A and B are shown apart, each in its own frame.
Chain A
Amino acid sequence: DAGVIQSPRHEVTEMGQEVTLRCKPISGHNSLFWYRQTMMRGLELLIYFNNNVPIDDSGMPEDRFSAKMPNASFSTLKIQPSEPRDSAVYFCASSLTSGPYNEQFFGPGTRLTVL
């Protein structure tokens, strides 16, 4: 089975540009999570979806960030406009169901650098 797939793996962009990160969860998984990892703040949950519906977006830093899940096999995280402080590794994860005991499977991450 393929794991969680994220693209691109690396993204370098200039301040002010729009950035779109993509995620394909494991087939059959009903929950999807977006995390951000930085040295200063560690791992932060940005938003999560159950059955394609956003459940909690309280971790989204500001209006420049938006996430969508148009179907069960695809999600995007968009930053517009991007700023240097958005530089981080962004992880997507999925789990089988919404139960809190379920393992979350992480993708390899997208390393974003905003110049």
Chain B
Amino acid sequence: AQSVTQLGSHVSVSEGALVLLRCNYSSSVPPYLFWYVQYPNQGLQLLLKYTSAATLVKGINGFEAEFKKSETSFHLTKPSAHMRDAAEYFCAVNARATNKLIFGTGTLLAVQP
């Protein structure tokens, strides 16, 4: 079975500081991995995805994530947080044999002025 674990349900950073949101996956086959963002009262929006090409994936809004097989991790980073980054972030894994996205429990990012 596939799963993702997001460490830290709440993360708070200062504006301009590094953002690091953690995601570890479990998969018996090479996974496809995704990060989605959910702004208040909206649906989810894709930030970036890993599909076994480059291990460092760049997404929208200055976010990037690195796939590390040895650590079974796919952490999301952004060098400098902005107030508009305040949202909930979800890591997700998709089994290659199915079309089902398995989501993590989400990390709520707060950005302090």
Contact = CB atoms under 8 A, between A and B. Distances in A.
Given A91-B44, A106-B44, A108-B43, A101 B103 contact: no
Nearest to A6: B43
Interface stretch (B12-20, B66-74, B76-84, B90-98): B90-98
Given A42-B105, A100-B32, A101-B94, A31 B99 contact: yes
Nearest to B101: A104
A98 interface: yes
Interface string B22-57: 000000000010101000011111100101000000
B90 to A, nearest CB: 7
B49 A48 contact: no
Contacts of B42: 108-109
B43 A98 contact: no
Nearest to B90: A43
Contacts of B97: 100
Contact of A106 (B32, B43, B98, B102): B43
Contacts of A102: 99
Contacts of A33: 101
Q: Main secondary structure on chain A at its contact with chain B?
A: strand
B6 to A, nearest CB: 10
A98 B44 contact: no
A101 B101 CA distance: 10
A93 B54 CA distance: 27
Given A91-B44, A100-B94, A45 B49 contact: no
Nearest to A58: B100
25 contacts: A4-B43, A42-B105, A42-B106, A43-B103, A55-B99, A91-B43, A91-B44, A93-B43, A95-B99, A98-B99, A100-B32, A100-B95, A100-B96, A100-B99, A100-B100, A101-B32, A101-B94, A102-B99, A103-B49, A104-B44, A104-B101, A106-B43, A107-B43, A108-B41, A109-B43
Instruction: Please give me the 7 A-B residue pairs with the lowest Cβ-Cβ distance, nearest first.
Output: A106-B43, A100-B94, A43-B103, A106-B44, A101-B51, A103-B46, A98-B99
